[in-house]
Structure 1
């Protein structure tokens, strides 16, 4: 890692989202100078300080971004949607909104752009969510700016589906459940994102400290509720049938996230191990809070 510089302005887009909120809090912890942009800035008022400025802007509307990157050294963007809503598509948000930011950055001499995509995004460009993300990645790579593409594994928050099934008494997995992944907590990833401001690495895939099988994640979910595991394994053809069906008979807004999760669940998704937060601890807290 190169030396840190606390006097450079960091612009954070997507601060009201899961990861963005953790990055904003970490900026505050490190006493960094930053600008947080949001469509509804009141959601970020608790972060406002002499070092962090809250600005109203909509990344999907380029005219609201004029001048917002003046004197900014680095942009960090977590902008993206899992489910299409408000009439906006993946291309509107994951691609075009980030492109709006990039175009403004080029006009004002921003040095670096850090963009959060998803693990193996470059290998699954056929998926609607990743098609849009990686289309922006291609634009960023030829922009002339310094950049880092961060491809995180699933977030701990994405693992709540395991907890919900465990709460109901059964967890259903596709195949033998031995596929590997190492999900990461947003708090850990936020620290890495800010460390990357002064790093020269171009692309990085990252996950949490523990590499687990789907079966092991299911067991952790049951343990969090103090229940005996009841794990049901469905043949992989069921996954493929569901995947075909949602693509055939539903809209992109419905099948987009399902297509993404059903495809990635079939393979190992293991990235560089990073961070300190443990999934078992996260599950225990979530289970306790749900009682």
Structure 2
């Protein structure tokens, strides 16, 4: 066993599950923080567990004693329970950070998003970056990891292909290199003993949105059918959503409509390919 005791918050999410697998592989002494033991995935069922809710700071009191490192993947993409990005991405993580400071934790590793620091006009990024600022002035050693889009997000292209038609922005020529959770998890665990304060990364392949759509249709052995949304229509949809829907519904749309209308390329890392991921997902 490696000596450092690590608390992993967010172990039941897409990335968290991959980190739990990798951290066990690297033989750290890990405990996971969960809201409900009954909903713990099989791959982390054998780990030590602490039950608490990050949005309820009283439930965290005294739970981080003896831990040296906290890894947080806490954040929401689809808002539930009436909670906002400020409730979870900012305040939830800040509650963790405050308790970590009280307990004498040495290092806090936080997973944000690529370019979140440049997109603070978006509700999701605003909340994440407010927390990053708190982390930087906390006095703890820290690492902020900024990954590109997850492969699980790219499954939307496969869903569009299954429906028979994809819709893209900008002629489909925007580029990105999404990353598989297993590859990203390696970097998150590396950061436990790493010295970098910020790590930006994406997957090994830089693809245009057109190429990702072609991969999705090819995976399903379907003929590619795609239409392109002009910029004025994207802005109009966002305006209507902002004006006539709740922030819980508008926030995720705002983020995805923005990052899919720009290039999102980060330093390459990993071995997993999007084609292999699509091949796996089509069986689900």
Provide TM-score, normalisation by structure 1.
0.94
Q: Return 5+ residue gaps in structure 2 as ranges.
A: none
SS of aligned partner of 2:28: coil
| Partner residue of 1:39 out of 11, 23, 35 | 35
* 2-structure distance, mates of 1:271, 1:239: 25
The aligned counterpart of 2:144 is: 149
Deviations 1:29-53 (A, max 9, x none): 222201101011233374344xx31
* 2-structure distance, mates of 1:107, 1:88: 26
| Partner residue of 2:2 out of 3, 6, 9 | 6
The aligned counterpart of 1:284 is: 279
The aligned counterpart of 2:135 is: 140
Q: Could you say what the CA RMSD is over the residues aligned between the two structures, in angstroms? A: 1.3
* 2-structure distance, mates of 1:103, 1:62: 9
User: Is the 1:44–1:54 contact (alpha carbons within 8 Å) kept by the matching residues of 2?
Assistant: no
Deviation of the 1:270 alpha carbon = 0.3
* 2-structure distance, mates of 1:146, 1:205: 18
The aligned counterpart of 2:174 is: 179
* 2-structure distance, mates of 1:175, 1:59: 39
SS of aligned partner of 2:27: coil
1:98 aligns with 2:69: no
* 2-structure distance, mates of 1:65, 1:215: 46
Deviation of the 1:88 alpha carbon = 1.3
| Partner residue of 2:75 out of 71, 77, 80 | 80
1:53 aligns with 2:56: no
User: Is the 2:167–2:229 contact (alpha carbons within 8 Å) kept by the matching residues of 1?
Assistant: yes
The aligned counterpart of 1:230 is: 225
User: Is the 1:174–1:235 contact (alpha carbons within 8 Å) kept by the matching residues of 2?
Assistant: yes
SS of aligned partner of 1:85: coil
The aligned counterpart of 2:210 is: 215
The aligned counterpart of 1:120 is: 115
User: Is the 2:15–2:181 contact (alpha carbons within 8 Å) kept by the matching residues of 1?
Assistant: yes
Deviation of the 1:15 alpha carbon = 0.7
Counterparts in 2 of 1:124 and 1:139: CA distance versus 1, 3 Å: same
Q: Return 5+ residue gaps in structure 1 as ranges.
A: none
* 1-structure distance, mates of 2:29, 2:40: 15
User: Is the 2:5–2:67 contact (alpha carbons within 8 Å) kept by the matching residues of 1?
Assistant: yes
SS of aligned partner of 1:197: coil
The aligned counterpart of 2:245 is: 250
User: Is the 1:45–1:54 contact (alpha carbons within 8 Å) kept by the matching residues of 2?
Assistant: no
User: Is the 2:168–2:228 contact (alpha carbons within 8 Å) kept by the matching residues of 1?
Assistant: yes
SS of aligned partner of 1:33: strand
| Partner residue of 1:17 out of 13, 23, 30 | 13
Query: Which 10-residue stretch deviates more, 84-93 or 185-194?
Result: 84-93
User: Is the 2:55–2:88 contact (alpha carbons within 8 Å) kept by the matching residues of 1?
Assistant: yes
The aligned counterpart of 1:196 is: 191
